[in-house]
Amino acid sequence: MKNFLAFVAVLVLGFLIITSLNNNEAFPNYGEADISERVSQAYIDRSATENPGDITFGETTDLESGPANIVTAIVADYRSFDTLGEVTVLFISSLGVALLLGGVNRKRIDLDFHPNFMLRVGSRALFGIILMTGVYVAIHGHLTPGGGFPGGAMIASSMLLLYLADDEFRVKIKGFKMLESVAGSLYVLIGLTGLLLISGGFFLENFLDNGVIGNLFSAGIVPIVYVLIGLKVGSEISGIIDNFLTEEAV
Amino acid sequence: MLVNILEIVVSVLMLVLAFFAINSKSLIKSVMFLSSLSMLAVVGFVLMKAPDVAVTEAVIGSGLVTTLFVFTLLSARKVGN
């Protein structure tokens, strides 16, 4: 009876969602939306302040926003202030975990599970590959899919692999805390530089040369900021993992 | 046309896996079904041309969250014993 009621509730909710989304002017069918009138078209064409004409990969210089990856152009350039808020949310959550679970005298939780030889060797072999992929994704965030957030999460998951490989292992948590606060402060300082350096500038303005679109050294402060975000996210999630997998020593 | 069929197959499989994740008796199997659901969501995001979301989902959904769940289950079992 309970299962049947749950099934009916799911059907009714699904019917309500489908009927309200169908024939709704705000939600056109998949692939049929006319985005030429919307603000997202200006972000794709990089024409929010000026009209650059046709953009050629590897040739066009000094656009209003340099990253070749459109998502990065929005996340770390047009809407960088929102990203600062997002990073703050992650910082507050890691602070809450550290307040609840953190402490001075802690050791690893003694689980019934002990890594065997294959797991130990395999995890250590994969650790380097995953760490390098994370660093690559964070550094090339303005050119290829990915960026600071997934790159930082990859760095943290490589740390998690080390925890899996050795039941005595712990990261140097003080160094990670230091790295996290330095990266977060540098992000705000770079934003303040944009505000103060240029007359009539604004917070997080791109004060460096945008360069040729598609080059590794292009897009001004965007790669710098994204690498900082990657370091900050990686160290924060590593700290959360360490807090989850340790307990107070008796 | 092929992409459309692939999209439908992926979405139906995701629904089935979500049902199994809720209804399976052992918790560790639930976590495994949830992990494979995330993996299929990655395929769906790639089909919908959102590689950035796909990378994030692959790392967080099927990597970090699954491992944390497994570790939590292991320590809960230790307390239970």
What would the pLDDT profile of B20-58 be if each residue is shown by its tens digit? 888 888 888 999 999 999 999 999 999 888 888 999 898
Alpha-helical (H) ranges within chain A are: 2-21, 39-45, 70-73, 80-101, 117-139, 148-165, 173-197, 222-244
With cut-offs at 50, 70 and 90, classify the pLDDT of residue B80: low
Query: Measured between alpha carbons, how far is A51 from A59 in angstroms, rounded to an integer?
Result: 17
Q: Does residue A35 sit within a domain?
A: no
Look at residue A58 in the predicted model and tell me its pLDDT: 77
Most B-contacting residue of A113, A129, A167 (CB-CB within 10 A), to test interface = A113
A157, closest residue in chain B (CA to CA): B64
Half-sphere exposure of A31 (CA within 13 A, CB side): 4
Distance CA A163, CA A113 (A): 12
| pLDDT per position as a tens digit, A60-111 | 777 777 788 888 888 888 888 898 899 899 899 988 988 888 777 788 887 7
- Strand duo A106-108 + A246-248: pairing: antiparallel
DSSP state of A248: E
- Domain span at A97: 70-248
Mean pLDDT computed over every residue of chain A: 84
Mean pLDDT along residues A223-241: 89
Report the residue from A111, A146, A147 with minimal CB separation from B78: A111
Range in A7-11, A161-165, B35-39, B74-78 with the lowest mean pLDDT: B74-78
- Which of A69, A112, A150 is nearest residue B59 as measured by Cβ atoms? A150
Report if residue A143 sits inside a domain: yes
Which of A24-28, A96-100, A236-240, B58-62 is predicted with the least confidence, judged by mean pLDDT? A24-28
Residue A156 lies in a domain: yes
In percent, the amount of chain A with pLDDT more than 70 equals 100
* Number of folded domains that form chain A: 1
Q: Which domain holds residue B6?
A: 2-80
Contacts of A165 in chain B (CB under 8 A): none
The pLDDT, as a whole number, for residue B41 is 92
Q: Which of A187, A183, A172 is nearest to A239 (CA)?
A: A172
Name the pLDDT band for B81 (thresholds 50, 70, 90). Answer: low
CA distances from B11 to A107, A108, A120, B5, B45 (A): 43, 40, 36, 10, 11
Return the pLDDT at A198. 77
| Residue A55, in any domain of the structure | no
Please give the tally of structural domains in chain B: 1
| Contacting residues of B for A150, CB less than 8 Å apart | 52, 55-56, 59-60
Going by C-alpha positions, the residue among A189, A174, A187 that lies closest to residue A231 is A187
| Residue A149 domain flag | yes
- A77, A177 Cβ separation under 8 angstroms: no
The yes-or-no verdict on residue A13 having pLDDT over 90 is yes
Question: Distance (Å) from the C-alpha of residue B50 to the closest C-alpha of chain A?
Answer: 9
For residue B40, what pLDDT is reported? Answer: 92
Measure CB to CB from residue B71 to each of A145, A157, A245 and give the nearest one.
Answer: A245
Tell whether the model's pLDDT for residue B1 goes beyond 80.
Answer: no
Inside any domain, residue A10: no
Would residue A27 count as lying in a domain?
Answer: no
How close does chain A come to B18, measured CA to CA in Å?
14
Look at B64 and A237 and tell me if their CB atoms are within 8 Å: yes
Q: Give B67's contacts in chain A (Cβ within 8 Å).
A: 157, 160, 164
DSSP SS3 for A57? coil
Q: Is residue A15 part of a domain?
A: no
Distance from CA of A177 to the nearest CA of B (A): 20
